[in-house]
Amino acid sequence: MAANKKLLFLPGDGIGPEVMAQVRKVIDWLDNRRHVSFELEEDLVGGAAIDAHGTSLTDATLDKAMNVDAVLLGAVGGPKWDNVARDIRPEAGLLTLRKDMDLFANLRPANCLPSLADASSLKEDLVSGLDILIVRESTGGAYFGQPKMIEDIEGGQRAVDTQVYTTAEIERVCRVAFDLAEKRSGKLHSVEKANVMETGVLWRQVATEIGKEFSGIELQHMYADNCAMQLVRAPKQFDVIVTDNLFGDILSDCAAMLTGSLGMLPSATLSGADQSGRRRAMYEPVHGSAPDIAGKDKANPLATILSFAMMLRYSFDDGNNADLIEDAVKNTLGRGIRTGDIMQEGMELVSCSQMGQALTEELDKLAA
Ligand code: NAD
């Protein structure tokens, strides 16, 4: 493959730099063993950028993010910056990136590897081998709709959030979900509350219309409350789920916990495709900066490594190397190697950097 793939690495704060360093090992391995090369730039975001530049995201960094093929982000935030002004706080940089890059489709896989099935709060047979992909609309809905305010009224206050969606907003995220369902099992659940919400009525109508273009996809509509119930009752009935910002926030965290550990969960957020089919994209682990273990070489780097595998799959159409990395993760865990967050009796406890090393050894074996 040509070495024209441009990446921006934003390690951020806390465990961000430690887990990103393990991705570099995988990138070096791909370069040496698979002749897959990246043009890689690194920059600051979050608290690290506040310390250096007085803002959590400089215009220059944003400009770089807009002009690469994909961004990989570690995590932002930590107690050191808890009291900085709201508009420069670490998370503000992340929100600006998502907004300015127009990353409206948040992909949250929830896979439960058989070797970690007993870490789930559900019975092993309900979750072992689970493989769900939640597509959450991430730039609209109740978190951004106007008006949004708290006002004084007689006898107290009145708080307003506005749930609002346009046809175009629903259409573009549904299209991403249908595309993904087509590449997976061909099954898609569209989730809303059409029984009590007007946005739900429109959502269902638009999803049904788009579904007519994807005749091979089995589309099912489901109310969000039922979906929450079904996720803990029989999660393996789902493959791809598409839903709005608010329901997606809740349902993706619920699905994530079926898999047992924050340290294992990758994510991607994508923009719409331009005329050449290119989507802007940012990949990041679901976990935060874990200040309690930062700098101690204890973090689990697998969520970030799996986020990089998603990047190969969705930004570079390189399913082969993405599969290889995901298989290496499975085999490494299958060999009983564990970081502290997923440690189980009788297993071998390793550091963050040792996990990165073990993974590249497993890649060597798989590629032999
Ligand atoms: P967190 O995800 O950082 O940590 C929660 C718990 O999980 C901690 O005990 C931590 O040690 C553990 N953990 C998380 N990731 C781990 C990993 N890879 N390996 C091993 N253990 C891991 O959430 P929090 O404690 O609520 O937040 C800490 C900081 O991170 C806050 O400043 C918060 O704002 C920020 N945060 C950032 C993001 C992001 O950058 N996207 C997301 C969530 C939280």
pLDDT in tens, 9-51: 999 999 999 999 999 999 999 999 999 999 999 999 999 999 9
Could you tell me the distance, in angstroms and rounded to a whole number, from the CA of residue 87 to the centre of ligand 1?
21
Structure-block tokens of residue 87: 């508009």
Q: How many structural domains is the chain composed of?
A: 2
The whole-angstrom distance between residue 272's C-alpha and the CA centroid of its chain comes to 16
3 pLDDT band, cuts 50/70/90, is low
Question: Which CATH number fits the domain that encloses residue 124?
Answer: 3.40.718.10
Element (DSSP H or E) covering residue 338: strand 337-338
User: Can you give the pLDDT at residue 274?
Assistant: 86
Give DSSP secondary structure letters for 208-227.
HHHHTT-TTSEEEEEEHHHH
Please give the torsion angle defined by the CA atoms of residues 257, 259, 265 and 269, in that order, rounded to the nearest 10 degrees. -70
In the predicted model, is pLDDT for residue 1 greater than 50? no
Task: Please work out whether the CB of residue 333 comes within 6 Å of at least one atom of ligand 1.
Answer: no
Same domain membership, residue 368 and residue 227? no
Which tokens is 184 given?
Answer: 């997976």
Mean pLDDT of 174-185: 94
Mean pLDDT of 181-186: 93
Q: Are 300 and 339 in a shared domain? A: yes
Structure tokens at 366: 């798989």
Residues 94 and 2 in one domain: yes
**Do 329 and 363 lie in a common domain?**
yes
In short, whether 262's Cβ falls inside 6 Å of ligand 1 is yes
- Is 357 buried (19+), middle (13-18) or exposed (0-12) by CB count in 10 A? middle
**Is 60 exceeded by the pLDDT of residue 328?**
yes
Calculate what percentage of the chain has a pLDDT beyond 90: 86
pLDDT digits (tens, 9 = 90+) for 82-100: 999 988 899 999 989 998 9
Q: How far apart are CA 153 and CA 173, in angstroms?
A: 38
Residue bearing the CA closest to ligand 1, atom 38: 288
CA dihedral 105, 70, 308, 248 (to 10 degrees): -10
Same domain as 97, residue 27: yes
Q: Say whether pLDDT at 259 is over 90.
A: no
- Residue 96 Cβ inside 6 Å of ligand 1? The answer reads no
Q: List residues with catalytic annotation.
A: 143, 193, 225, 249, 253
pLDDT at 2 over 60: no
pLDDT band at 218 (very low <50, low <70, confident <90, very high): very high
The residue assigned the tokens 């007993």 is 118
Predicted model pTM: 0.92
- Are residues 61 and 172 located together in one domain of the fold? no
- Domain closes at, from 231, 263, 295: 263
Domain holding 241, by residue range, is 110-263
